[in-house]
């Protein structure tokens, strides 16, 4: 009996200190949970798009969930890997391997066939196939984006050196990339397919798809080490259950997601070959 009391006296303060040191998040904790989202669209659009999802999580986890992003992909990645700033991470597939190495644990991914980039040109353009892009101006988003990686990979596979054979012009967003080709500022545009599909009919009717890259796994959702296992499980279950509830469906519809599914870290290992190093 005495030994139990002694053990408790030693272990309880140690446990408490550990908890305080790690600031481990139990979903009912008072401090807010940071939902880090890759700045793949403008910050305002990001907030508009993800606010319902964040509110959904906040409501069901009974904790304040805050949207946060970064000025750039590189800064977002740095804050992810070095600062471990985000409790819940919504990042691009090719960034996940680095996050995983920093301690983030995959809990789900967007339930979709996978993301791919498309090459589009004006319907009036003389460019008929991918090889016609040589010597032309190709607009695409940040070189560190998934789209840029898929495009470079696709060009390389078709014997086009992306650094010398085409003039790649970086644009701040996918939409900007598409509009540059639409207005004739560039000869072609390479962007992820979902933003292209979401473009206005007027723009889409003026463009045609020249080529499509291979699909990449969809966006992973992971949690940092401040999130307890129990809370991570709770979050995962909430995400997975969204497609089966009315409320969840409305949120998913707003986000243009069909739902979330279980996924494994191995699905994203293929990006190690193309690993992004900030």
Residues that bind other proteins (CB under 8 A): 32, 39, 42-44, 46-48, 51, 54, 66-71, 75, 79, 85
- Our CA dihedral for 271, 276, 265, 254, rounded to 10 degrees, sits at -100
Find the shortest distance in angstroms from Cβ 51 to other proteins: 5
Find the shortest distance in angstroms from Cβ 198 to other proteins: 18
Find the shortest distance in angstroms from Cβ 278 to other proteins: 16
Contact between residue 130 and residue 162 where contact means Cβ atoms under 8 Å apart: no
Distance (Å, rounded) from C-alpha 166 to C-alpha 81? 32
Find the shortest distance in angstroms from Cβ 146 to other proteins: 19
CB of 85 or CB of 116, closer to other proteins: 85
Handedness of CA 193, 113, 38, 266 (dihedral sign): negative
Find the shortest distance in angstroms from Cβ 83 to other proteins: 10
Residue for token digits 């969204």? Answer: 242
End-to-end CA distance of the chain: 56
CB of 212 or CB of 256, closer to other proteins: 256
Q: What token pair was written down for 278?
A: 């900030």
What is the largest distance, in Å, between two alpha-carbon atoms of the chain?
Answer: 87
Distance (Å, rounded) from C-alpha 33 to C-alpha 45? 20
CB of 76 or CB of 271, closer to other proteins: 76
CB of 79 or CB of 261, closer to other proteins: 79
Q: What token pair was written down for 236?
A: 């995962």
Find the shortest distance in angstroms from Cβ 158 to other proteins: 36
CB of 77 or CB of 263, closer to other proteins: 77
CB of 43 or CB of 265, closer to other proteins: 43
Find the shortest distance in angstroms from Cβ 123 to other proteins: 35
CB of 71 or CB of 184, closer to other proteins: 71
Distance (Å, rounded) from C-alpha 223 to C-alpha 36? 10
CB of 54 or CB of 146, closer to other proteins: 54
User: Under the phi-then-psi rule, with left for phi > 0, alpha for psi from -120 to 50, and beta for the rest, what region is 215?
Assistant: beta
Find the shortest distance in angstroms from Cβ 67 to other proteins: 6
Distance (Å, rounded) from C-alpha 242 to C-alpha 238? 6
Q: What number of helices (H) and strands (E) belong to the chain?
A: 10, 11
Cite the DSSP H helix spans in the chain: 2-22, 43-61, 73-78, 96-101, 146-157, 174-182, 193-198, 201-206, 229-241, 246-255
């Amino acid at each position: 009996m005495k030994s139990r009391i002694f053990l408790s006296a030693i272990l309880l303060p140690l446990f408490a200190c550990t908890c305080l040191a790690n600031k481990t998040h139990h979903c009912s904790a008072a401090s807010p949970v940071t939902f880090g989202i890759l700045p793949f669209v403008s910050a305002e659009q990001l907030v508009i798009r993800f606010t319902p999802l964040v509110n959904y999580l906040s409501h069901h986890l009974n904790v304040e969930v805050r949207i946060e992003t970064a000025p750039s992909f590189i800064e977002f990645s740095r804050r992810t890997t070095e600062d471990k700033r985000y409790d819940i991470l919504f990042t691009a597939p090719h960034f996940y391997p680095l996050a995983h190495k920093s301690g983030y644990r995959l809990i789900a991914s967007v339930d979709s066939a996978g993301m791919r980039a498309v090459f589009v040109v004006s319907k009036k353009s003389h460019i008929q196939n991918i090889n016609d892009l040589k010597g032309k101006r190709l607009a695409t988003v940040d070189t560190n984006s998934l789209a840029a990686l898929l495009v470079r990979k696709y060009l390389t596979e078709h014997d086009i050196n992306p650094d010398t054979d085409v003039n790649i012009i970086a644009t701040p967003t996918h939409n900007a990339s598409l509009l540059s080709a639409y207005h004739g500022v560039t000869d072609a545009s390479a962007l992820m397919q979902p933003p292209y599909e979401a473009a206005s009919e007027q723009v889409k009717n003026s463009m045609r798809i020249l080529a499509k890259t291979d699909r990449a796994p969809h966006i992973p959702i992971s949690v940092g080490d401040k999130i307890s296992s129990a809370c991570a499980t709770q979050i995962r279950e909430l995400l997975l259950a969204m497609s089966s509830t009315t409320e969840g469906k409305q949120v998913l519809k707003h986000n243009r997601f069909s739902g979330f599914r279980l996924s494994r870290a191995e699905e994203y290992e293929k990006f190690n070959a193309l690993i992004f190093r900030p």
